[in-house]
Structure 1
Amino acid sequence: MASEELARPDAQLHLAGFFPFGPAYVWSEAERNDIYYDFAAWRQLAQAAERGLFSTLFLGDSQRLREHLGRITDTAVTGRPDQLVLFAHLAAVTERLGFVATLNTTYTDPVDLARRLASVDLLSGGRVGWNVVTTDNDWTGENFRRGGDVTHEVRYRRAEEHLALVTSLWSAWEPGAVATAASAPHWIRPGAVHEVAGTGSLSGVRARPSVPPSPQVRPVLFQAGESDEGREFAARHAQGIFSRYLQFDQALAFATDMRRRLVRAGRPADDLRIFPATRIILGDTDAEARARARWFGDRTWPDRRIRAVIEAVWGHDLSDHDVDGPPPHTDPVVPTQTLTHGVVNTNDRPLRTAAAWRELAEQRGWSIRQLVRHLNASIEFVGSPATVADELTRYVRAGAIDGLNLQPNAMPGGFDEVVDRLVPELQNRGVYRTAYEGTTLREQLGLAVPS
């Protein structure tokens, strides 16, 4: 390693189990389609993560079933049980694993959200985190009879007001407020639970917290915004951030930028854990792993899914279009889009996107299949356990990442190979824990307990 890549010679890698939306679990065929709603499957996944000393299990979320051409998307699993309900169940069958829920500030009530998060955090012994997200599209808002009323300009201001109220509620119950002795004259110390007032759009709210703090005081805050506003929001508030940067130089640049922002916000530079999402595919040899990765990619990108990516931009059914032929020469039927249906790559500019894709395909001589696979290519760690362990050691010791949001390759056994084959290699290099550091999520992430 170059000297600049040894910026953190003692840094430890964190693994977070990440369960995104999408048809990405065919490494071993699922027993049945409804396994994604089977608690036994989730229990097996969580217990495997804990056996592998993962820091957390993290779930993405959407507040409306994703759609394609006006129909519910049927090429991907787009719905799942309420995260906090699921996490409450999983906390009962694990002991140290943390749980991070994605919950929206735009369409949730802050007092109710604070109570639900604090309840699971308390009952789990301090193992909960909150991925703070916002939404600005009216398609999701229609679920709440508020379609189109939240603009991009105001959503982070509302998120600040929402988060301020939630964290104030978590801080408003004093430690040791509940009497432990049955002979005490009061079950709770008088004056130990304070009233909290909202600000801005929440200025009419007056509330008190419902439950006392957990051993980690309050849930750990995560954030996933990529914009300048999102990065600033994370620098002010978050202890973890989910990133899309995994190419080494880009990852290191992102980490450097975030640490500078933390310092400007008056925080220690090491007070934030950076988790890009990825997949790990192992083999006995590097060549075998690459062959498995090719097989996996072919299985998770069938013709229907490839065609759906093009249809989302062109705005109509293209089932008669050969995915091994060129992109359509016709223009999208809708020149602008104002709704977000859970699709990507449109950027609300279908005409511009279609023209750019056609130009790229013509320049490279690509078919639709090749174009879509290129557009959706992601950096994965592929190789023998030793090869992958060496590369991850390089990333974390250079300061490019703190951990990985690791997608399972199957449901429910998608973490088993990483746990059994990769974790020992990481431990041998001194870059991964050999036992949990404590009982709370803050302890597993090496974060200070807030006052």
Structure 2
Amino acid sequence: MTKQVHLAAHFPGVNNTTVWSDPAGGSHIEFSSFVHLAQTAERAKFDFFFLAEGLRLREQGGQIYDLDVVGRPDTFTVLAALAAVTDRLGLTGTINSTFNEPYEVARQFASLDHLSAGRAGWNVVTSWDAFTGENFRRGGFLPESARYSRAREFLSTAAELFDSWRGDEIVADKSSGVFLGNPAAGAFRHRGEQFDISGRFNVPRSPQGRPVILQAGDSDEGREFAAATADAIFSRHGTLEAGQAFYADVKGRLAKYGRRHDQLVVLPAATFVLGDTDADAQEKAAVVRRQQVSGATAIKFAEQLWNRDLSGYDPDGPLPDVDPIVGESTISKGRASVRMNRDPIAVANQWRALAAEKNLSMREVIIEVTGRQNFIGSAATIAEQINTLVQADASDGFILVPHITPGGLDEFADTVVPLLQERGVFRTEYEGTTLREHLGLGFSR
């Protein structure tokens, strides 16, 4: 059976894929930028628009640096505003479970689902670092080992609030001015290790029942959390072999939770560069990578591995001949790069071997080893690549991350999408009105 491709648009914010210095780059905070990308995605009949969240500006060596200088405005504010200028496009955002409360978040998502007529989606994330926690009253109180236990209870508590309304409890008697119906409507009581709350939820059942739940963890615990609770999972595995392994793994975990294979949508994030020909696209991609990794950015990336000040090094010269400092990061705050390199000395030696093999400078090594475009080619080539990966069960679709904001999705919408539609693997019109319908998911009960 031929699968339908799912596509979503990621508003990237300022990060290592965004080329903010390009003349075509626009604002990352003005509302017109969000409107442009969202309306382009809706014109192309994408499933949803995705907004990431940053709770603190990242620092390196005690200074804010160019990859995160503008930060990100409030997620709910932007999504609620976009609900007024779009009609069918899903509106999803990242909201942290570590520094928020279930009642507050459930109320905001239920409100967004009403305002958008059933298009809300919640990417549930956790945070472990005290650096981000300094912006909040509770600071970095939560140890890394406990973050998923809080997230699980946070999400289950929010679900209790969403489900506290069946949808038909209230009947208004206008003559008496009294609301009649089930006196238990909205009533909740939750006692657990993380939360002890009771009261009455004041937002009636929303069009989807619950917002679509997205999750992005790649650890074994994160995959298990997604299999138990998520409607969609982001993935960083965008190649055929790695994608198929991840797809089989997370889908294989569903049965133990009484869930079907089609109740979890797997969506890797993907960047792309389009050209008139494949060769033209390759040339453009090389230019984009040089823009994404300036000399200053190369130094910053190297510092995240070496965990030491490398400002005295030439980015167009060799890699440092000293070894990384092993232990807690003292350089990079707000990024997990150092923590994710479990053996930084081994990684540094791999980089040195690559530099020696290909005669690469520090900047060229960073370009080689950091994220690159998933799809490079003509519109026909990229359409073929996307469809091949989806039909081979390496994914169910992709969350596209353009390197230019806000117009970076325009060419894809105008050239690649029509080719997918011609193949019969992507919708030509929205068939439903809610995000759950776009993703092939049922009403959440």
* Other-structure match for 2:292: 300
Correspondence for 1:51 among 14, 34, 43: 43
Q: Which moved more, 1:239-248 or 1:323-332?
A: 323-332
* Other-structure match for 1:438: 432
Counterparts in 2 of 1:398-413, with a 5 A limit? 398-413=392-407
* Structure 1 gap segments, 5+ residues each: 1-8
CA displacement, residues 142-188 of structure 1 (integer Å, 9 cap, x when unaligned): 22243442122211111111111101000001212333674576335
Correspondence for 1:374 among 350, 368, 379: 368
The question of whether the paired residues in 1 share the 8 Å contact of 2:307 and 2:331 is answered with no
* Other-structure match for 1:4: none
Residue type matched to 1:284 in 2? D
Q: Which moved more, 1:84-93 or 1:382-391?
A: 382-391
* Other-structure match for 1:167: 159
CA displacement, residues 349-405 of structure 1 (integer Å, 9 cap, x when unaligned): 655554554455345543211221122133511111111111111111122111111
Q: Percent identity?
A: 42
Counterparts in 2 of 1:97-246, with a 5 A limit? 97-179=89-171, 182-183=174-175, 186-246=178-238
The question of whether the paired residues in 2 share the 8 Å contact of 1:286 and 1:387 is answered with yes
The question of whether the paired residues in 2 share the 8 Å contact of 1:386 and 1:422 is answered with yes
Distance 1:106-1:98 versus aligned 2 partners, 3 A rule: same
Counterparts in 2 of 1:244-393, with a 5 A limit? 244-332=236-324, 335-337=327-329, 341-347=333-339, 353-362=347-356, 364-393=358-387
What is the TM-score with the length of structure 1 in the denominator?
0.92
The question of whether the paired residues in 2 share the 8 Å contact of 1:118 and 1:213 is answered with yes
Q: What's the C-alpha RMSD, in Å, of the aligned pairs?
A: 2.3
Residue type matched to 1:414 in 2? G
Counterparts in 2 of 1:29-40, with a 5 A limit? 29-30=22-23, 35-40=27-32
Residue type matched to 2:401 in 1? Q
The question of whether the paired residues in 2 share the 8 Å contact of 1:139 and 1:340 is answered with no
Query: In 1, Cα distance between the equivalents of 2:219 and 2:80?
Result: 32
Residue type matched to 1:196 in 2? F
Query: In 1, Cα distance between the equivalents of 2:48 and 2:40?
Result: 12
Distance 1:64-1:307 versus aligned 2 partners, 3 A rule: same
* Other-structure match for 1:6: none
Correspondence for 2:15 among 15, 22, 25: 22
Distance 1:27-1:288 versus aligned 2 partners, 3 A rule: farther
The question of whether the paired residues in 1 share the 8 Å contact of 2:60 and 2:331 is answered with no
Offset of 1:345 from its aligned partner?
3.1
Query: In 2, Cα distance between the equivalents of 1:338 and 1:188?
Result: 60
Residue type matched to 1:191 in 2? P
Offset of 1:316 from its aligned partner?
4.2
Offset of 1:77 from its aligned partner?
4.6
The question of whether the paired residues in 2 share the 8 Å contact of 1:311 and 1:318 is answered with yes
* Other-structure match for 1:416: 410
Q: Which moved more, 1:422-431 or 1:360-369?
A: 360-369
Distance 1:149-1:44 versus aligned 2 partners, 3 A rule: same
* Structure 2 gap segments, 5+ residues each: none
Q: Which moved more, 1:318-327 or 1:397-406?
A: 318-327
Q: Which moved more, 1:168-177 or 1:88-97?
A: 168-177
Distance 1:148-1:354 versus aligned 2 partners, 3 A rule: farther
Distance 1:309-1:203 versus aligned 2 partners, 3 A rule: closer
Correspondence for 1:86 among 57, 78, 83: 78
CA displacement, residues 287-309 of structure 1 (integer Å, 9 cap, x when unaligned): 11111111211122111111111
The question of whether the paired residues in 2 share the 8 Å contact of 1:246 and 1:379 is answered with no
Query: In 2, Cα distance between the equivalents of 1:253 and 1:100?
Result: 26
Aligned residue-pair number: 442
The question of whether the paired residues in 2 share the 8 Å contact of 1:197 and 1:207 is answered with yes
